[in-house]
A and B are shown apart, each in its own frame.
Chain A
Amino acid sequence: MAKDILLSLRDLSVEYPTRAGILQAVSQVSLDIYRGEVLGLVGESGCGKSTLGRAIMRLLQPPGYIAGGQIIFDGQDLMGFDAAQMRDLRGRRISLIFQDPMTSLNPVQRVVEHVIEAIRVHEGPTSVEAARARAAELVDRLGITAERLDDFPHQLSGGMRQRVMIGLALALKADLIIADEPTTSLDVIVEAQFLDLLQELQRDFGLSILLITHNIGIVAEIADRVAVMYAGRLVELADVHPLFHEPRHPYTQALLASVPNIKLVGDDLKIMSGSPPDLITPPPGCRFHPRCPQAFDRCRLEPPPLQEIQEGHHVTCWLY
């Protein structure tokens, strides 16, 4: 795999002002996504992974805002882009697939109109026939017959809608697809089909995918590298095998130990004690220290930096 950096986040922070104070949803995350790789982003609910995905597109729900850092996409800092430049970038270079395919399509537009619109937004006026032909080609690739193009979203099944969403993302040959829990609302069989399709398309088109999920199993199956987030911070980033075989950060270890496994015997399933911290007043030092079994004094005082402890294996922990 060519190690060609497509997207690079440098110290990216996202904040939400609330009544109780400023909530740091993402703090100082630095991370690279290479061309043609699948990067899995895992973490528990509320750890900032979806916020990170949206921040990359600069589509944060108000009142959220990017408090600092850089988003460098293909050599350009997106923070310096104006609204028109961002609009042009969205969909054409970076696409977003949402969690809930049931509500991600406009109920009053036919499937084909969605595709035509996506094409027209970025490529100017296109004849209906030409756009239709492209749409037909596209959905054929996704395993949807061309007849279904004239259906309304409510006439499609959940799996089909999610495939249409990918189709929209692919219609303009985006380089990076941010998939925000794309399979959460699908059943396991449809989910497996969907993941196969995603992988196949990723290989054929040379896409980069940022797969945001809390489902460790999916990540293990299709990701090349995995990033683990905890309480708005990146705690571990490594290739998929090292991460699953020798996790280094105590949080990653605890997370993996708490995933049910058919080989477990008796009480082997570990439960992580405590709960994630309040992000308005996060604990000082390492944010995981209140729950960490191996915490020592330094962890309580200074936040650990992200360090590369092995080739391609980054950890944010004072243990190393």
Chain B
Amino acid sequence: MADRKAEKSNRPGWQEDLERVGLVRRVLRPALQARKWYGADWWFVVFSAVLLVFFVLVALFPQWFAPYDPKAEVGPSLLAPGQPPEGYILVTRTADHITDLRQVATSEHTLGFVLGSPASQALRERLAEFAAEAQAAGEEVNYSPRPKRYATLDEALQALVAGRIDGVIETRSTVEAAIDQYEGLEISASLRERGDRGFILGTNQLGQDVLSRIIWGTRIALLVGFTSAIVAVVIGVPIGLLSGFIGGPLDRVLTLIMDSLYSFPGLILAIAIAAVLGPGLINIIIAIAALYVPTYFRIVRGQTMSVKQLLYVEAARSLGARRLTILTRYILPNVIPSVVIIFSVNVADAILTEAGLSFLGLGLPPDTPDWGIDLARGQDYLRRAWWLITFPGLMVALVTLGWSMLGESLSEILNPRLARS
């Protein structure tokens, strides 16, 4: 005791203050000590833990990080990463003296578009802003012009010249190339007056923001990965414990069942189960969990069988401990470390499997922001739009790497051979 006190008084005051905080004493200091013992592995754990904490944050609050609604078609189709979206402009007849989009945007007007152009989406956003402004000002203006679509820009501009419509909305570059051929038309307004958020990672073929989609996809990936690994632990660990502890015919039967499950190639089994159960989040989780139950079963059963032979278990028995006590207080705590390690590796694997199932169309509804679905959709545009598959793929790789690294380095640290004794 005296030694400890002397040691304490040599330390700076701030450290003693920190000592009083439970978190520091219980978590931070052992962690810092661990750094000295384990070197590189400690850094791996810290790095992967930071990475994973970030991913978990993103998964919990995607709305804080995502600039757009992942399901909305917010921009032009297949816009490359970092490229500014082209601004849309309004073309009107010079004679009408239009200076503001509002003037031609009420329900009495008709506006022309080229078929398939995302201009109508851009207009809709702008109109929503107008409506909000009008409501705030107490005015009653119905901003909903009748749309009219034309096969080409030329047809639209001819219609405008002829007076059948009040304006045409198209991108600035295409309009500027065509407008000289028509008399009496002018570019009167730009649709985007405020600064635009842009598309950092580009847009997909539907004009959805890739960044927002992968951010929302994190939620699905971690949800499925975590939940299925937890379900597998909850089922696999108790069965493994019982099987290893009780032994006999029960053990034989359970081992046979689990080994036959284990002998299937992973994804094939998941596909089979998912195909039988049908699509849906819960079903995917069940399919993946079923895949990993045998892993836990085998490890826990094996460890239980070796731990139950150990002298301290027998010593507990010779002191009159019940079977349940032996199982929960002697065997389980000595088996848990290996479960923790497999768990983190399994989460990584489950995320991969989930992406695989979604890629094959066995997973979630097709409009869900999910990495596997994005990859599957993006592969059709592999040559034109590399960003469609690169970023969801990168996310899968990063998250998987984070979990695997955590698992591997934890196993190094928790490895009894390396532990100080």
Contacts and interface: CB of A to CB of B under 8 A. Distances in A.
Contacts of B321: 87, 117, 121
Nearest to B4: A147
B333 interface: yes
Return the 3 tightest CB-CB contacts between A and B, nearest first: A91-B319, A96-B318, A91-B320
Contact of B319 (A107, A109, A168): A168
Which residue of A104, A106, A168 has the most chain B CB atoms within 10 A of its CB atom?
A106
Given A100-B311, A147-B1, A154-B421, A106 B318 contact: no
Contact of B312 (A91, A95, A103): A103
A306 to B, nearest CB: 28
A87 B318 contact: no
B314 A105 contact: no
Interface string B306-332: 000011101111111110010001100
A107 B334 contact: yes
Contact of A121 (B314, B320, B334): B320
Contacts of A90: 317-320
A110 to B, nearest CB: 12
A88 B314 contact: no
B295 to A, nearest CB: 23
A107 B312 contact: yes
Given A121-B321, A154-B421, A96 B334 contact: no
Given A117-B329, A121-B325, A154-B421, A105 B315 contact: yes
A121 to B, nearest CB: 5
A232 to B, nearest CB: 22
Q: How large is the interface on B (under 10, 10 to 19, 20 to 34, 35 or more residues)?
A: 20 to 34
Given A90-B319, A107-B312, 5 more contacts: A59-B314, A106-B333, A108-B334, A117-B325, A168-B319
A87 B334 CA distance: 23
A122 B420 CA distance: 34
Nearest to A99: B311
Interface residues of A, number: 29
A89 B320 contact: yes
A108 B333 contact: yes
A31 interface: no
6 contacts: A90-B318, A103-B311, A103-B312, A121-B320, A121-B321, A121-B325
A78 interface: no
Contacts of A165: 315
A256 interface: no
A114 to B, nearest CB: 9
Contacts of A91: 318-320
Interface in A50-67: 57, 59
Contact of B314 (A89, A98, A117, A169): A98
Nearest to B334: A108
A147 B4 CA distance: 12
Contacts of B312: 103-107
Contacts of B333: 106, 108-109
Contact of A88 (B1, B318, B320): B320
Contacts of B314: 59, 98
Contacts of B318: 57, 59, 90-91, 95-96
A96 B320 contact: no
Given A98-B311, A100-B311, A106 B330 contact: yes
A59 B317 contact: yes
A92 interface: yes
A118 B319 contact: yes
A43 B246 CA distance: 34
Interface string B113-135: 00000000000000000000000
Nearest to A118: B319
Contacts of B320: 87-92, 121-122
B334 A106 contact: yes
A154 B421 CA distance: 5
Contacts of B420: 154
Nearest to B332: A108
Contacts of B421: 154
A169 B314 CA distance: 13
Contact of B311 (A104, A117, A122): A104
A92 B320 CA distance: 8
Interface string B394-421: 0000000000000000000000000011
Which residue of B315, B325, B334 has the most chain A CB atoms within 10 A of its CB atom?
B315
B319 A106 contact: no
Contacts of A98: 311, 314-315
A163 to B, nearest CB: 14
A109 B322 contact: no
